[in-house]
Structure 1
Amino acid sequence: MRTFHNPHHALHQGREEMFRGRMVPCHEVPARLDFVLAELQRRPLGELLTPAIVDAELDMAIGRVHDARYTTFLAGAWDEWVAMDPANAQRDALPSVWPLGNRHAFRTDVLPRNFAARLGLFSFDSGSPLMAGTWAAARGGAACALEAAYDVLGGARSAFALTRPPGHHAGADFFGGYCFLNNAAIAAQALREGGQQRVAVLDVDYHHGNGTPTIFYERADVLTVSIHGDPMTEYPFFLGHADERGAGSGEGFNLNLPLPRGTGFATWRAALERALQAVADFGAGALVVPMGLDTFEGDPISGFTLRSDDYFAVGEALAGAGLPTVFTFEGGYAVDAVGTNAVNLLAGFERAS
């Protein structure tokens, strides 16, 4: 298994985030990736590579998933933030005002000139700080996902996009949940365009990856499946319920499997089997796994109780699908354990493949 890792990830290093009503140090930190990379060097599974995608090709791949108005905003956001007040260079940008589409109508065709308004327009929470290196880091992550998809299209059994910031909460035109570009969606779209007629995305992160299904919700060629904490009590709250099945031509091609806080591995594993059966019934030719490790019992912002050894079995079960598979690195905030847990999952996949 080749791992494509993002050499620009540490350019995105938030100072603080809003968490449960107060400012706290960011949970999503560069050490998350560094621990995984160190564990892959200690227990190698294959080559460790950096992406070599040219800018024009990367821009096209991003543009097939994300709206141009949104990516243009992200590309220039930091400069605008500092232009508002030079002192802003010493603090990250966090949104503070949002349009509430469920409460009153708002103009989607008008882009406010005020930066703070646009920052809110393109985000859904106040816990995802944006800084000088965010755009470069996010683009580097998209390049990892694209290289991993190309590797699988070229005949590899699997490939791993090891990058941060993560991606599965990012929609076509919004960021949040620490995510700015949706790496899993970029990989899935690349697999489709590379000849796979049907692609499944099976998200195993504790938090519902709300961005991915919003991108594919009305499509029948990409199945989105997610096992996650029940949105009645768990972030991101407003999507991820079991009755969300897709819409239009995509009706029936979205499956949510919400589980209560405190769920242990036996129950979680049963949900995984149901998810894999849905992938098989769909007839997918390739699989993308947004690989969240925040299902771990020691995770500080999550609530399942999987143990490190359980991730071997998770990888083995995923390998049982028998599909070429792209893994994207998502959540996992028990930083000291995230490397062990990630490599356990990948090693389980490898030995069962």
Structure 2
Amino acid sequence: MKIIYSPDHAKHDPKTYFKGGAFHEPQEVPGRAEALVQGLKGAGHEIIAPAEFGPSPRAAVHTPGYLHFLETIHARWRAAQMGGEEVLPNIHPGRHMSSMPSGIVGEVGFYTTDISAPVGPTTWEAAIASNNVALTATDYVLSDLKGNLSAYALCRPPGHHAFKDQAGGFCFLNNIAIAAEYARRTVNRVAILDVDVHHGNGTQGIFYDRADVFTISLHCDPTDFYPFFSGYAHERGTGAGEGYNLNLPLAPESADDAFMTRLEEAMVALRAYAPDVLFIALGLDAFEGDPLIGLSVTTEGFGRIAARIAQLNLPTVLVQEGGYNRDFLGANITSFISGFERAR
């Protein structure tokens, strides 16, 4: 399997993580990607650098105002002599507030969903590099669709919580959505299967009214788990996209067998949809030892999940999302990729 990675991910090195009413040690840190790379190299995988794709692919998904915000907000924040080394919101538009404010504090709140996506001085550069990783993997798979190629994009920062005009949940550019939209230039039907422990709310939001990108998410029940306000089974799409979004929530602490049972529901839906290309939002935070504590998938379980997905025999792009137990990330990614490759 082709492995794509950029060391520029380290340009995003957040110092702030707020959860449950308190500040904690950041979890989405450069060490995550470094642990994944070490595991892959130890397993004998060759790793290649991404190509540069320019602004067009991300502009096809994200709004101009949001992209301008991400690119310029840190410099403008510092110029305005705001406190702290990172850009953080202190207010968000609630249900009864919808106007776009002209002041910088309101702007930050408008373009973020929560406080878990702090913008540092070079976060934008890291986000672009991460997106180029996903696009390079996609380009490779599209280069020979009849060859059923597969590629793994080691993306960091992750992307599936980013909406078309909002950052959140450690995410800035929605890598998998941008890659899927890029693939639509070549193929007619794309599917995204999200196996991260958290619902891919940004990805769902981007494609919710479309029938050409089928979005499926297996995740921990969001009743009392991030992102709380989406990821429920009744969310099926709207307009032209009605019936083209499928959420398969799992009870907290669900382990391998329960995950595999729900995965079968996704397999049935994917076979019916018959996509030309399959994208996997590969979160490793469903792991039983992950510090964010949602599901209880084992290292061996990731191999089982991957093998079942591989049996679809589709051109497949794996896009890295979450996973925060750095001691096990190397073992978990190699289990997933080896399981996928053995089944092909």
Normalising TM by the smaller chain, what interval?
over 0.9
CA drift of 1:341 comes to 0.4
Cα shift readout 1:276-313 (whole Å, capped 9, x = no counterpart): 11111111111000100001000111321111111111
Q: How does 1:1-353 map to 2 (within 5 A)?
A: 1-45=1-45, 47-53=46-52, 57-85=53-81, 88=84, 91-100=85-94, 102=95, 104-107=96-99, 110=100, 112-155=101-144, 157-194=149-186, 196-353=187-344
The whole-number CA distance in structure 2 between the counterparts of 1:197 and 1:312 is 30
Which structure 2 segments of 5+ residues have no match? Answer: none
Cα shift readout 1:226-270 (whole Å, capped 9, x = no counterpart): 000111111000011000000000000000001111111111111
Once structures 1 and 2 are overlaid, which stretch shifts more, 339-348 or 173-182?
339-348
The whole-number CA distance in structure 1 between the counterparts of 2:34 and 2:256 is 27
List structure 1 runs of 4+ shifted beyond 6 angstroms: none
- Equivalent residues of 1:202, 1:288 under 8 A apart: yes
SS in 2 for 1:270: helix
- Equivalent residues of 2:28, 2:324 under 8 A apart: yes
- Equivalent residues of 2:40, 2:333 under 8 A apart: no
Cα shift readout 1:93-125 (whole Å, capped 9, x = no counterpart): 21110111x2x1422xx4x23211111101111
The whole-number CA distance in structure 2 between the counterparts of 1:26 and 1:291 is 20
Code of the aligned partner of 1:52: A
Change (3 A) 1:50 1:192: same
SS in 2 for 1:300: coil
Code of the aligned partner of 1:251: E
Code of the aligned partner of 2:139: Y
The percent of aligned pairs where both chains have the same amino acid is 40
The whole-number CA distance in structure 2 between the counterparts of 1:39 and 1:28 is 18
Code of the aligned partner of 1:171: F
- Equivalent residues of 1:6, 1:50 under 8 A apart: yes
Quote the RMSD (CA, aligned, Å).
1.2
The whole-number CA distance in structure 1 between the counterparts of 2:260 and 2:157 is 27
SS in 1 for 2:17: strand
- Equivalent residues of 2:39, 2:329 under 8 A apart: no
Question: Could you tell me the TM-score, scaled by structure 2's length?
Answer: 0.97
SS in 2 for 1:95: coil
The whole-number CA distance in structure 2 between the counterparts of 1:105 and 1:76 is 24
Code of the aligned partner of 1:161: A
- Equivalent residues of 1:187, 1:326 under 8 A apart: no
- Equivalent residues of 2:195, 2:219 under 8 A apart: yes
The whole-number CA distance in structure 2 between the counterparts of 1:117 and 1:350 is 48
The whole-number CA distance in structure 2 between the counterparts of 1:106 and 1:65 is 21
The whole-number CA distance in structure 1 between the counterparts of 2:157 and 2:299 is 23
Cα shift readout 1:147-197 (whole Å, capped 9, x = no counterpart): 111000012611111021100000100010000001111111111112x21
- Equivalent residues of 1:32, 1:339 under 8 A apart: no
The whole-number CA distance in structure 1 between the counterparts of 2:4 and 2:91 is 36
- Equivalent residues of 2:255, 2:298 under 8 A apart: no
Code of the aligned partner of 1:44: G
Question: Could you tell me the TM-score, scaled by structure 1's length?
Answer: 0.94
The whole-number CA distance in structure 1 between the counterparts of 2:161 and 2:267 is 22
SS in 2 for 1:25: coil
The whole-number CA distance in structure 1 between the counterparts of 2:278 and 2:196 is 15
